């Protein structure tokens, strides 16, 4: 099977489409490319590239993801966003893993100059069926955020929870459905929370190549000023694994 780990816009990157189950290979990787051209009052061109490398020796898993996106509207220069994410899993039992991560992010579209995250917590495997896999993660993380100059109070330092539910379904050899949803409240002010959900449908073309359709929804109760609370996106692209 081709697919399996996901990262989200406002917070932890959705790594489920990049996390893979392997029978023997310790080192694996993947590269995906998405592009779209939208024509309404303006022409908007978007391109996204995500690459990862994974090491898995059955007891430990290391995963590094580099995610870059570029967007250009008519008569304007490119604006971009990028995320670098490193995650470590340690197997405790057949159903429990401890995981930790660090992440760096910038997002010109959302007026974020820099956001740094570090978190840790358990990941629970809820089913043993390899074709229909369900997971629950309950992490705690520290967030450092520096907004762009449109924000008066540019720097925020917060402790947030990060609870996620993820599933991967493979009804046959050619189709995969992977989804992850996050809830991330600020622990000292629960009304300041973020929701995000990413769902991908993958259609196998060849052994290591798949066509990918992804829908992403993000909600931030207190975004940077001028930015809407809700953002969503539908993209199509290719995923190559090795």
Cα gap 228→230, rounded to integer Å = 6
Q: What is the pLDDT of residue 107?
A: 86
Question: What is the domain partition of the chain in residue ranges?
Answer: 5-241
Q: What is the pLDDT of residue 9?
A: 41
What's the pTM?
A: 0.85
Contact 110, 223 (CB under 8 A): yes
* Mean pLDDT, contiguous 10-residue spans, the chain (242 residues): 39 59 76 77 78 93 93 72 95 97 90 94 94 96 90 87 96 95 97 96 95 93 86 91 90
Cα gap 181→149, rounded to integer Å = 30
Q: Which residue has the tokens 């930015």?
A: 227
**What is the CATH number assigned to the segment(s) 5-241?**
2.40.160.40
């Amino acid at each position: 099977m081709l697919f399996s780990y996901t990262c989200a816009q406002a917070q932890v990157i959705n790594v489920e489409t990049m996390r893979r189950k392997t029978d023997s290979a310790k080192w694996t990787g993947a590269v995906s490319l998405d592009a779209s051209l939208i024509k309404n009052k303006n022409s908007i061109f978007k391109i996204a590239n995500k690459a990862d490398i994974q090491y898995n020796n059955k007891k430990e898993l290391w995963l590094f993801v580099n995610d870059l996106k570029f967007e250009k509207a008519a008569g304007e220069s490119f604006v971009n966003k990028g995320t670098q994410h490193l995650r470590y899993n340690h197997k405790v039992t057949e159903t429990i893993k401890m995981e930790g991560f660090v992440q760096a992010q910038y997002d010109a579209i959302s007026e974020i100059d820099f956001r740094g995250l570090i978190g840790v917590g358990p990941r629970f495997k809820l089913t043993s069926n390899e074709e229909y896999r369900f997971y629950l993660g309950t992490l705690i993380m520290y967030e450092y955020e520096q907004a762009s100059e449109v924000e008066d109070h540019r720097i925020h330092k917060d402790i947030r929870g990060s609870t996620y539910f993820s599933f991967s379904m493979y009804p046959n050899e050619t189709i995969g459905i992977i989804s992850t949803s996050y809830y991330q409240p600020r622990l000292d002010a629960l009304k300041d929370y973020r929701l995000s959900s990413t769902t991908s449908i993958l259609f196998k073309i060849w052994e290591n190549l798949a066509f990918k359709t992804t829908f992403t929804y993000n909600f931030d109760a207190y975004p940077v000023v001028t930015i809407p609370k809700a953002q969503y996106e539908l993209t199509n692209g290719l995923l190559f694994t090795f």
